[in-house]
Amino acid sequence: MSFLTVIDFSSLLQYLITGLTLGSIYGMTALGFTIILNSTGVINFAQGEFVMLGGMMSVYFMTALGLTEPVAVVLAVLGTTVIGALVERLAIRPVRQSPAINLVIITIGVSILIRGLVMFFWGKDTHVLQSFSGDTPIMFLGAAIMPQALWVLGVSAFLLVGFKFFFSKTLHGKAMLACSFDVKAASLVGIGVERMVLLSFMISAFVGAVGGVILAPITMTSYDVGVLLGLKGFAACILGGLGNPFGAAAGGIVLGILESLGAGFISSAYKDALAFVILLILLFAKPSGLFGQKDSKRV
Amino acid sequence: MSVSYRKDMFWLAGLFIVLMLTPTILPNNYYLTIMILGCLHAMIAVGLCLLVGHAGQISLGHAGFYGLAAYTSAYLSTTWGLPVELSMLAGVVLTVVVSILVGMPSLKLKGHYLAMATLGFGIILSILFTETVDITGGPSGFVGIPRLSLAGFELHRDVDIFRVVAILLCLLVWLCFNVLHSRMGRALRALHTSDQAAQAMGIDVARHKLFVFVLSAGFAGLAGVLYAHYLTFIAPASFGFMFSVELMVMVVLGGMVSVPGAIIGAFFITILPELLRAFEDIEIILFGLILVVCMIFLPDGLAGGSARLWAWVKTKLALGCSRG
């Protein structure tokens, strides 16, 4: 396809919906990145692995343990949340005082470890998870919408509203927000910073796993899907402006739509390259992300 | 000449002697291949050590520079039939030029944003290596690259290539030490602490950042062309995002600011998977585990860790002597 393809409305709508669906997952991954970043100042390279674990665990629980899909999915999300807590307890907490770069390398090690374990125990095969409510597309203004896409959009919207409530109304949410502004000040007003870090890893793993579970029926899942998803999630974070959870979610959606339009109208081989080119241009034009505030620092 | 400079030179002499003696100890070519790759990785790692450890500027795109140089030289020498020396030079020069073009806008960014910009650049390059099948051979790789030759003599034996690569590594390390002990090196460390403070001291921040970025990209380019003409086969998988991450791991594992540490880190990360190969299926699990354990227990890297071990052994020995 080339630039000259006549852009008709229904295919544009189709690409937009695909992009929105994919973008929601990127946004959720980005949300996970942001939550850990805010409490620790560290980019968690294992975030993509949480997404992968959500999908792979559901598949495992269904095929090996014979559970029904809803039960398997809930167990997978809970299981990943526990793993998130374990990662924080075993790999991050013992070295909390180390420089950020060391912690980043540790999360890289953890992601290699998780990938290796999944590959060893569950193999290298690609798995499919069944769509939650059938595969009959819904026709809407000439575009076909898969029911699973509606699940993705619905769950992401629900989670976003949930987080908005969590961060603005609950004590724990406000405490986490305080940590993201200034860890020392937060601990001075009596917030248990260590507990908040643990909580942030659990929430990130939870969001990641939810994303992985609802994505698995659309794109299939295997032990190594986490790497690229992690990268896209990180890109979404940057696009939205680091540290702002809702900017991150919006960044994900922008990235997903860019990618889908690029694949549809220009070239599917270069869709990722295209998304990154646009990302770089945006970065150079607006160095603190689309929704980030320009931070001024006292010298 | 300062004491620390003399110490560094002693270290360099030691490295040179060890590298020159290595081929005599190694039983066969397989080990030599690993050592050659170790040297190439070490070249990139020392450059990154200057960039990341000293100037405090992160890069997750150096695998792209490595690949760009390798593919350029492979294309010029194989498809165009240029002499190997000339295409290698062209590969390094192109890498340097590209790094200037990438560095100028990117280095205005800070921290995670800079990481993202370099990462994005690396990914764009690796997609190009895979998709421009006519030029690069695509995912199945570029075959039939002529072997390394110097002044018209082709280096048939791996030992000869190893010696060339080892000598070049030593030269780069010497260059690094000299940069670090110069006015430039002090300026870079000032940048690391604070851009603003460095600027207030009259340091041209943008130019210094660009210099060290281009220098490290040039090192990666040199390693890349050597890699292409040593293996005579290259594939995009060697120049992906994971390799950029591995390069960063080498530097951090080496203790960030230590040039010898970066070299040790590079050899460690190159040799470790080969050692673990015997464990087959759990190889990657062990690799991840060792990485995490190293970072937890050796927060200042392998170099710092071995220094502390040495100090511990010395006190024990001293105790033993005083008792005996």
Alpha-carbon distance of B286 to A223, in angstroms, equals 17
Across the range A126-136, mean pLDDT stands at 83
Average pLDDT value for chain A: 86
* Residue B41: closest CA among B167, B182, B165, B200: B165
CA-nearest residue to B58 within chain A is A101
User: Is B287 close to A227, i.e. CB distance below 8 A?
Assistant: no
Tokens standing for A40? 């620790």
Alpha-carbon distance of A76 to B250, in angstroms, equals 34
ipTM score assigned to the predicted complex: 0.82
User: Is B285 close to A273, i.e. CB distance below 8 A?
Assistant: no
Q: How far is CA B236 from CA A157, B63, B123, B128, B226, in A?
A: 38, 10, 11, 9, 16
CA angle B169, B170, B174 (to 5 degrees): 120
Note the pLDDT tens digit of each residue in B240-284.
Answer: 988 998 898 899 888 888 899 999 999 999 998 888 888 877 888
Q: Where are the domains of chain B?
A: 3-275
- Chain A window 175-234: which residues touch B at a Cβ cutoff of 8 Å? 227, 231, 234
- Residues of B with a Cβ under 8 Å from any A Cβ are 105-106, 108-110, 112-113, 115-117, 119-121, 123-124, 127-128, 131, 194, 196-197, 241-242, 245, 248-249, 252-253, 256, 281-292, 295-296, 299
Q: Å from B265 to nearest chain A CA? A: 13
CA angle B318, B319, B324 (to 5 degrees): 100
Q: What is the pLDDT of residue B319?
A: 78
Q: What is the pLDDT of residue A263?
A: 86
Q: What is the pLDDT of residue B323?
A: 63
CA-nearest residue to B200 within chain A is A299
Tokens standing for A125? 């095969």
Alpha-carbon distance of A243 to B21, in angstroms, equals 52
Is the pLDDT at A8 greater than 50, yes or no?
Answer: yes
Note the pLDDT tens digit of each residue in B269-324.
Answer: 999 888 888 887 788 888 888 888 888 888 777 777 777 888 888 888 887 776 65
Tokens standing for B11? 């270290």
Alpha-carbon distance of B286 to B278, in angstroms, equals 11
pTM: 0.87
- B246's CB contacts (< 8 A; 6+ apart) are B269
Alpha-carbon distance of A259 to A280, in angstroms, equals 14
Alpha-carbon distance of B139 to B129, in angstroms, equals 8
Q: What is the pLDDT of residue A1?
A: 46
Instruction: Reduce the DSSP state of residue B234 to 3 states and report it.
Output: strand
Q: What is the pLDDT of residue B194?
A: 83
Tokens standing for A75? 């167990």
DSSP bridge partners of A145: A138
Ranges of chain B whose pLDDT falls below 70:
1, 322-324
Q: Identify from B107, B112, B193, B279 which residue to disrupt to test chain A contact, counting A C-beta atoms within 10 A and taking the largest count.
A: B112
User: Is B291 close to A108, i.e. CB distance below 8 A?
Assistant: yes
Instruction: Reduce the DSSP state of residue A284 to 3 states and report it.
Output: helix
Note the pLDDT tens digit of each residue in A250-291.
Answer: 999 999 998 898 888 888 788 888 888 888 888 888 877 777
Which of B110, B119, B282 faces A120 most closely, judged by CB atoms? Answer: B282
For residue A221, how many C-alpha atoms fall within 13 Å in the half-sphere facing its CB?
31
Q: What is the pLDDT of residue A7?
A: 64
Its CATH class, for the domain covering B3-275, is mainly alpha
Alpha-carbon distance of A106 to A97, in angstroms, equals 13
Please report the domains of chain A, with CATH numbers, ordered by start residue: 3-285 (1.10.3470)
Across the range A214-243, mean pLDDT stands at 87
Q: Å from B55 to nearest chain A CA? A: 14
Q: What is the pLDDT of residue B1?
A: 56
Distance of CA B257 to the CA centre of its chain: 14
Q: Å from A6 to nearest chain B CA? A: 25
Residue A176 or residue B320, greater confidence: A176
What interhelical angle do A271-285 and A226-240 show, nearest 10? 30
Q: Using a CB-CB distance cutoff of 8 angstroms, which residues of chain B are in contact with residue A238?
A: 112-113, 116
- Residue-wise over A69-97: b if at least 16 C-beta within 10 A, else e? beebbebbbebbbebbeebbeebbeebee
Is the pLDDT at A2 greater than 50, yes or no?
Answer: no
Alpha-carbon distance of A184 to B191, in angstroms, equals 26
Instruction: Reduce the DSSP state of residue B256 to 3 states and report it.
Output: coil
Is the pLDDT at A3 greater than 70, yes or no?
Answer: no
